[in-house]
Amino acid sequence: MSLETTSTVIKECLCGGQVAWLMSSRGNMYSVEIRNGVAINASGKEVANVLRNDFHECGVYRGLAKFIQNAIERSAARRLRVKLLTASNMPVLLSWSEANTMLHVSDGKPYHQSAYYASVNIETGGFRFGERATVEVKNLLEAVDKRPLEAARAYGRATNECCFCQQPLDDQRSILAGYGSHCAKKFGLPWEIEGENTAKRARRTRKAIRINSDND
């Protein structure tokens, strides 16, 4: 069982809940639940006694978890990296490695330079935001949870690069689909949408990523 520790970093999570923030072994700030309220110490700062492994959970993204689980199972992957874009074309990387139930959400930069945004449990869909998460990242994750295929396609069409293998898309069918035929087969995905022109598809996928919670 984790030892009780005192956190002096008390502030609101992106999801709206008041939480305590602790430093992980990787140097990332992560949130834990405040069970016994917040006190004021002798210096006038807010403090809370918390458990290191009493992780705060912002909600549940079952659609995103199922999408990643299916990709892992169908491809027998030991490691998975999915690149996506926010509405303003900010890159976001979803990464997973074998024997880990957590999907790591970051900006995709090298380990010591990367910004940690969130974690998603691929078994339960439970997720939590990191201290550096933004509303743009939140909207993207919500879009992936509701329409994961559209988010994958949006990345491929915007960059001409497959979001799963990061290889260039060099033929028209792959560009329209947003990913290549090999990854389509590997992950059990459709390779093209019939009955829509390219412009309509592009507008629809970008709209999916620009989810406005007021319209949900």
Report whether 161 contacts 155 (CB < 8 A).
yes
**Averaged confidence pLDDT in the chain:** 86
Tell me which of 29, 51, 73 is where a domain ends. Answer: 51
Helix axes 62-75 and 148-159, enclosed angle (nearest 10)? 70
96 with 118, same domain: the answer is: yes
Total structural domains within the chain: 2
143 with 195, same domain: the answer is: yes
Range of the domain at 81: 59-215
144 with 196, same domain: the answer is: yes
- H or E segment at 4? strand 4-7
Beta-bridge partner residues of 21: 31
User: Half-sphere exposure (CA, 13 Å, Cβ side) for 107?
Assistant: 15
Position 141 pLDDT exceeds 80: yes
43 with 128, same domain: the answer is: no
45 with 87, same domain: the answer is: no
19 with 64, same domain: the answer is: no
Nearest to 116 by CA among 106, 124, 125: 106
126 with 148, same domain: the answer is: yes
69 with 33, same domain: the answer is: no
According to the model, what pLDDT value does residue 195 have?
A: 43
> What mean pLDDT do residues 89-112 have?
91
Tell me which of 35, 51, 67 is where a domain ends. Answer: 51
Parallel, antiparallel or unpaired: strands 91-97 and 102-106: antiparallel
Buried b (16+ CB within 10 A) or exposed e, 147-178: bbbbbbbbbbbbbebbbbeeeebeeeebbbbb
123 with 36, same domain: the answer is: no
Phi-psi group of 92: left, alpha or beta (phi > 0 → left; psi -120 to 50 → alpha; rest → beta): beta
pTM greater than 0.95: no
141 with 179, same domain: the answer is: yes
Q: What digits encode the pLDDT tens for the residues 15-62?
A: 999 999 998 887 888 899 999 899 998 888 899 999 998 999 999 999
Q: What digits encode the pLDDT tens for the residues 103-113?
A: 999 999 987 78
127 with 68, same domain: the answer is: yes
Beta-bridge partner residues of 19: 11
Parallel, antiparallel or unpaired: strands 4-7 and 91-97: unpaired
Residue bearing tokens 């090999």: 182
Q: What are phi and psi of 140, to 5 degrees?
A: -65, -45
Q: 61 or 154, which is more confident?
A: 61
116 with 166, same domain: the answer is: yes
Distance CA 60, CA 47 (A): 28
